[in-house]
């Protein structure tokens, strides 16, 4: 289990250190308007609950008293959606990672890695074992905010609904909302200037616009 930082963290008034999604507004309430900010394979149950459940590659019915519950099958866009929806609701203090790991993508391993280690100057998630673990659409400051706000509960492989529900009940009211305002992210439209074939980092190849291949594993990732 990885604990969040409290107090003494960086300020977030001008978080423009990373291209992609930019922080554009803050709200005084604990949740931004029109939350969740990013659509995905998830269901909102109780927006003021303090715990979300990520079921990785497993599809499970939503449980009672969870803030939001859904799968995460990719080590890049899936992780970005979790970060964006977490920092825009400061009631979320815990994320339970359960279900079966996503083969090749290793989204569970990657979620733990980004929380523990952050990203490097290229946007690569440090120490992730996933095929293409890049954060390209989230500012660096937003990643750091995510790391501060939540604690991850690593229960990879757990699919027993009763046991998962018991963990939800333990954490759903634990602690207080995060001490800083919720943040909302908005897409920054930008033109991509990648060449048809371009090595971007450590054997990852861009073989066409929005199509990446990990040359070591042969896994192809298509951004949609």
pLDDT per position as a tens digit, 70-126: 999 999 999 999 999 999 999 999 999 999 999 989 999 999 999 999 999 999 999
Q: Kindly list the strands in the beta sheet with 220-222, ordered across the sheet, starting from the edge strand earlier in the chain.
A: 198-201, 204-208, 211-214, 220-222
Joined tokens for residue 117: 């280690």
Does the bond joining 36 to the residue before it have cis omega, within 30 degrees of 0?
yes
Per DSSP, 31 falls in state B
The pair phi, psi for residue 54, each rounded to 5°, is: -110, 120
Task: Give me the pLDDT at residue 33, please.
Answer: 87
Instruction: Report the pLDDT value the prediction gives residue 187, as an integer from 0 to 100.
Output: 56
- Sites in the chain below the pLDDT cut of 70: 1-28, 187-224
Q: In what order do the strands lie in the sheet with 68-70?
A: 42-44, 68-70, 51-54, 94-97, 151-154
CA neighbor of 110 nearest in space, from 120, 99, 102, 100: 102
DSSP string, 108-123: HHHHHHHHHH-B-TTS
CA distance 214 to 89: 34
The Cα–Cα gap between 125 and 78 comes to 13
pLDDT at 1: 55
Q: Which of 39, 128, 38 is nearest to 75 (CA)?
A: 128
Closest CA to 178 of 21, 50, 66: 50
Alpha carbons 187 and 15: distance in angstroms, whole number:
14
Nearest to 74 by CA among 53, 37, 109, 105: 105
CA distance 196 to 213: 12
Residue 144 near residue 10, CB atoms below 8 Å: yes
pTM above 0.85, yes or no: no
- Sketch the domain layout of the chain as residue ranges: 21-188
């Amino acid at each position: 289990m990885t604990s969040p930082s409290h107090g003494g963290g960086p300020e977030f008034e001008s978080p423009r250190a990373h291209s992609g999604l930019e922080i554009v507004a803050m709200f005084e309430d604990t949740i931004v308007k029109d939350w969740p900010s990013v659509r995905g394979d998830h269901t909102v149950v109780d927006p003021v609950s303090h715990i979300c459940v990520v079921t990785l590659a497993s599809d499970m019915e939503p449980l009672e008293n969870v803030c939001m519950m859904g799968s995460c099958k990719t080590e890049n866009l899936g992780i970005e959606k979790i970060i964006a929806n977490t920092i825009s609701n400061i009631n979320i203090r815990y994320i339970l990672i359960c279900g079966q790991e996503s083969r090749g993508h290793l989204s569970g391993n990657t979620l733990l890695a980004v929380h523990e280690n952050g990203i490097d100057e290229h946007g690569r998630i440090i120490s992730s074992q996933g095929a293409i673990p890049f954060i390209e659409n989230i500012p660096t400051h937003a990643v750091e905010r995510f790391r501060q706000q939540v604690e991850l509960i690593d229960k990879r492989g757990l699919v027993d609904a009763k046991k998962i529900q018991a963990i939800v009940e333990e954490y759903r009211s634990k602690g207080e909302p995060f001490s800083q305002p919720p943040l909302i992210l908005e897409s920054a439209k930008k033109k991509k200037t990648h060449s048809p074939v371009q090595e971007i980092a450590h054997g990852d190849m861009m073989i066409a616009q929005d199509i990446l291949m990990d040359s070591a594993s042969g896994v192809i990732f298509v951004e949609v």
